[in-house]
Amino acid sequence: MEFFNSIDWMQMLRCFIVGGLICIIGQILIDKTKLTPARILVIFVTTGAILGGLGLYQYLVDFAGCGATVPLTGFGNALAKGAIDEVAKSGFVGAFIGGTKAAAGGIAAAVFFRIYCISYCKAKNEKAII
């Protein structure tokens, strides 16, 4: 019960709406443009990185929490933020290591789950994917 009382429902709603809106942009790009999913992915990450680098994305994170950090734009934001922070700590070379450092959790998880999947699962046609 204490757990339920501790939930900030308004925060959750903001998270849901912002996260959903970011995904809707992706869906519109898939449906209405000829961009391949790989390009859409890159557009999202670089947009997040640019907005993060300009310090704008942080406003969205403050407002929506995970709704802004979980989508791909949040990954781009983490890369930019990590690079900026690391430059402050270790100088010029930080621009190269900071982004990867900040995103290390996501990168390692992606590699781990990919290896896990290809070891134990076999791709089938769409029946299985849906």
Partner 1 sequence: MQKIGKQTIKLDTPPTILQTASIVGPKEADGPLASYFDQCLEDEFWGEKTWEKAESKIIKETVAMAIAKSGIPSEKIDFCFAGDLLNQCISSSFGLRELNIPFFGIFGACSTFVEALCMASVFLEGGAGSYALCAASSHFCSAEKQFRFPLELGNQRPPSSQWTVTGSGAAIVAKSGMGPYITHITPGKIVDMGIKDANNMGAAMAPAALDTLITHFKDTGRAPSYYDAILTGDLGYVGKEILIEMAETKGYNIRSNYNDCGVLIFDKEKQDTHSGGSGCACCGTVFSGYLFKMLQQKKYKKILLMATGALTNSTTSQQGESIPGIAHAVAIEL
| Binding site residues, partner 1, CB under 8 A | 30-31, 34, 36-37, 117-118, 123-127, 129
Min dist CB 81 to partner 1, Å, is 28
Min dist CB 41 to partner 1, Å, is 11
Beta carbon nearer to partner 1, 37 or 55: 37
Min dist CB 42 to partner 1, Å, is 14
Q: Which residue is associated with the tokens 């690391």?
A: 86
CA separation for the pair 97, 79 (Å, rounded): 10
Beta carbon nearer to partner 1, 30 or 93: 30
Min dist CB 36 to partner 1, Å, is 8
Q: What is the DSSP letter of 107?
A: H
Q: Helical H runs in the chain?
A: 2-6, 9-32, 37-53, 57-64, 66-69, 72-90, 94-102, 104-120, 126-129
CA 99 to chain centre: 13
Beta carbon nearer to partner 1, 93 or 118: 118
CA separation for the pair 125, 117 (Å, rounded): 16
Min dist CB 117 to partner 1, Å, is 8
Beta carbon nearer to partner 1, 1 or 38: 38
- Identify the burial level of 95 via C-beta atoms within 10 angstroms of its C-beta, where 0-12 means exposed, 13-18 middle and 19 or more buried: middle
Beta carbon nearer to partner 1, 50 or 70: 70
